[in-house]
Structure formats: structure tokens, C-alpha cells
């Protein structure tokens, strides 16, 4: 009889089998770059120690290789880079800026601008002035003519530069106050986070359409995409996983979402920020027990710290999936194909929910005449979680 893991059923689970994480840069001390024979500044997992120039060349080459291998960017096209203040977006802006100022035969040739989608008003107000000041300092290093839009707006009329209420040190606008109150209307944090994510994507699409940008750079890296693979499946967005984690998201024909730094790991991005001496915001603390997305993120972060190659495996598995071709139209909110038509699994889920509810009319059957039929399964769950939210579901 196999006795491996017999003690894994206690309260500790298998935590005792997880290797202890080592302090960063422990192996750099006294190390020498094998290529340049000078002191190393970075030691990545499964790689030789690297000096500053070799490491920067390595990261920049990864970025250029992603764009070059697909040949997706035509000459003189218009590109919009999404900025959120965190390490991934700062790294992306630095890579793009460097590539645009290279020699003629090396530099990228496109018209570039930056978009900042402001969601800071949803966070703790006492930290708001400090975060805004830091965001302003970071953005001014890259451009003074960036585009700004609040998450409370639809993105069809973006502004240039920071809005007046930032300079007046007001906490939020009337629209942001109304939007902030919407959070209490959701019965679950999972539905709220899914709603925010899909709304953010639609705002980016609206800004791109309004300003005639044909391509958008998203600052998502390997860890983010591995989390997306798992959380999308759990949320019922399995049919759109390939578009949500692939290099190209072209569900809207006029505008393509691209992920040029998706091959960079969390360790590479953090070291890039350190070596380049760049400033960035720290991600807000999240309670893993409140939503499926935060719990999945915590799980992936633990994998990244102890079994980093597993995270890459999860990401690559999602990358190999092909988009599911359906002929039921597209969702009015997330723009994905409408799924679930004729699905016995979803019919069983809805039936189970109906019979377990004392009020049988709380979960109406979805048919062709129902307003819910315009949405995919996951967006339908958002509507059912927060009735009356339809006018916030921008396209």
C-alpha cells in the first residue's frame, strides 16, 4: 500500500512539503556574469547570473521577439499602451519608450500614446492623495500628453492629462461617487470583480475607437495570465480563455488587444524595475477568502514562489487552447460568443438553483425572448447578482 502523503490530510494539508522560499538576490553576491566577466546584478531561476546590460538586453529581446514573431504591427499604425501604475505597466512603458528611440533599423515605428484608466477612487481614501502624486510622477517620466478616463465613465470622451479634480485635491467626482456606491449592491465580491474587469476592457475599447487606435498593449505577464486561465474556467468563461490569455484578442475586428510582455515572469519584471530604478505602485492587499479571483491569485502566487515552472505550465496550457466558434451571437457586455445554448450542464445548474430556492421566480429560465439571452453565461450571473445594473454595462 502506498504511504506517500498519508499525513497530508491534517489541518496543514501539504504545506510541509512546500520548499522554503529563498531571499531574493541571495545567489548574486560574489557572482560574475559569464558573458561579460563582470559582477552580476541579477540571478533568475534556472539561468546563469547576469550583469545589468545582459539582463536588460534579455528582457528587451523578449519584448521585441513577441512583436516581431507575429508581425502584427503595420508600419505607422496607432498604438495605445494601458497604464495602471503597477510593475507590469511601468515595465511595458519603459520597454516601448526604449524601442521607439532606437537606431533607425532597430526602432519600432508606430504612433504611440498612453491610457490611464483611473480606479483609485475605489480604494482607501486616506491613501488617495499619495497614490495620485506617485502616479503623476511616473506618467510624467514617459509622456505629458497621455489619455485619462475614469472607471466611472464609458470611455467615449477621454481627456488629455489629469482631470481638474486631481489638481483641486478632490477625492472623487459625482459620477465616481455614484459608481462607488454600486459596490454595496453586489451580493458577492466575485461578481463585482468580474464586472470591473469586463467594464475596464470595454472602456479601453471605447477609448481606442474614439481616438482611432488600431492596437492596444496590455501589461499582463505570465502570473496574471495563469491566474486568468484558472479563474475564467471557474467563472464559466472557458469558451473565451484563448482570447483572454493569448497574444492577440481580436474579438472586436476594428481593434486588437495585444500582450507583448506576456512571456515575462514576475521575477523578471521585479528585477527590471529594480535595475532600471523605476517607481511603481504596490498592488492593494486582497483577502483571498472574499472572491474566486483573489483566491486563485493567491494560489498562483504561492506556486510562483515555490514552483515557478508550474505557473508557466498553466499559462502555456491556456495559450494552446483554441477559441470556441459559436453561432449564437456575441455578448452585449464582454463581447464574447454567447455560450450555454442547449447545454445540459447549465440546464442542470439552473434547475438545481431553482429547486433550492424557496422563491422559484428568482432565477428565470433563459429563452430567446428573455433579456438575459443577450449575455453570455458569466455576464448573466453578474446581472442576477446585482439586479438593475443594466445601465452600467457599457459596450
DSSP structure string for 62-86 = HHHHHHHHHT---TTEEEEEEE-SS
Per-residue pLDDT of the chain (395 residues; tens, 9 = 90+): 444 443 443 444 444 444 444 444 545 667 889 899 999 999 988 788 999 999 999 999 999 998 887 788 888 899 999 999 999 999 999 999 999 888 776 788 889 999 999 998 888 777 888 888 899 999 988 887 899 999 999 888 898 888 887 877 677 788 888 898 898 899 999 999 999 999 999 999 999 999 999 999 999 999 999 999 999 999 988 888 989 998 999 888 888 999 999 999 999 999 999 999 999 998 888 888 899 999 999 999 898 888 878 888 898 888 888 776 677 788 889 988 887 666 666 677 667 766 776 554 444 444 444 577 888 889 988 998 888 788 788 87
Q: Note the pLDDT of residue 16.
A: 41
Cell numbers standing for residue 384 = 442576477
pLDDT at 145: 85
The pair phi, psi for residue 375, each rounded to 5°, is -120, 155
Q: List the Cα angle 148/153/154 in 5-degree steps.
A: 100
Give the pLDDT score at 6: 39
CB 199 within 8 A of CB 151: yes
Q: Which residue stretches of 211-237 are H helix?
A: 222-235
Helix pair 292-306, 308-319: axis angle to 10 deg: 130
Amino acid at each position: 500500500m502506498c504511504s506517500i502523503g498519508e499525513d497530508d490530510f491534517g489541518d496543514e494539508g501539504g504545506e510541509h512539503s512546500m520548499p522554503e522560499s529563498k531571499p531574493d538576490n541571495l545567489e548574486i553576491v560574489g557572482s560574475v556574469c559569464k558573458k561579460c566577466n563582470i559582477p552580476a546584478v541579477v540571478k533568475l531561476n534556472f539561468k546563469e547570473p547576469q550583469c545589468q546590460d545582459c539582463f536588460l538586453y534579455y528582457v528587451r529581446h523578449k519584448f521585441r521577439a513577441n512583436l516581431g514573431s507575429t508581425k502584427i504591427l503595420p508600419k505607422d499604425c496607432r498604438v495605445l499602451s494601458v497604464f495602471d501604475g503597477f510593475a507590469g505597466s511601468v515595465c511595458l512603458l519603459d520597454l516601448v519608450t526604449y524601442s521607439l528611440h532606437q537606431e533607425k533599423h532597430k526602432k519600432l515605428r508606430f504612433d504611440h500614446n498612453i491610457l490611464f484608466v483611473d480606479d483609485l477612487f475605489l480604494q482607501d481614501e486616506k491613501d488617495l492623495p499619495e497614490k495620485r502624486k506617485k502616479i503623476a510622477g511616473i506618467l510624467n517620466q514617459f509622456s505629458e500628453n497621455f489619455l485619462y478616463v475614469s472607471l466611472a465613465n464609458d470611455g467615449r470622451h477621454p481627456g488629455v492629462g489629469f482631470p481638474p479634480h486631481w489638481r483641486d485635491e478632490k477625492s472623487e467626482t459625482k459620477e465616481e461617487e455614484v459608481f462607488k456606491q454600486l459596490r454595496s449592491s453586489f451580493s458577492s465580491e466575485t461578481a463585482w470583480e468580474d464586472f470591473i474587469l469586463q467594464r475596464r476592457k470595454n472602456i479601453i475599447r471605447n477609448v481606442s475607437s474614439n481616438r482611432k487606435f488600431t492596437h492596444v498593449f496590455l501589461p499582463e505577464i505570465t502570473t496574471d495570465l495563469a491566474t486568468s486561465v484558472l479563474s475564467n474556467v471557474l467563472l464559466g468563461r472557458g469558451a473565451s480563455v484563448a482570447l483572454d490569455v493569448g497574444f492577440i484578442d481580436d474579438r472586436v475586428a476594428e481593434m486588437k488587444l495585444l500582450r507583448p510582455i506576456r512571456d515575462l515572469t514576475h521575477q523578471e519584471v521585479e528585477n527590471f524595475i529594480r535595475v532600471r530604478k523605476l517607481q511603481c505602485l504596490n498592488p492593494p492587499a486582497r483577502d483571498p477568502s472574499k472572491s474566486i479571483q483573489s483566491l486563485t491569485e493567491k494560489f498562483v502566487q504561492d506556486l510562483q514562489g515555490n514552483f515557478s515552472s508550474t505557473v508557466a505550465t498553466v499559462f502555456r496550457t491556456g495559450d494552446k487552447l483554441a477559441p470556441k466558434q459559436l453561432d449564437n451571437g456575441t455578448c452585449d457586455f464582454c463581447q464574447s460568443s454567447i455560450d450555454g445554448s442547449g447545454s445540459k450542464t447549465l440546464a442542470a445548474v439552473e434547475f438545481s438553483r431553482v429547486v433550492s430556492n424557496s422563491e422559484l421566480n428568482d432565477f428565470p429560465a433563459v429563452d430567446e425572448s428573455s433579456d438575459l439571452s443577450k449575455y453570455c453565461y458569466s455576464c448573466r450571473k453578474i446581472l442576477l447578482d446585482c439586479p438593475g445594473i443594466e445601465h452600467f454595462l457599457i459596450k
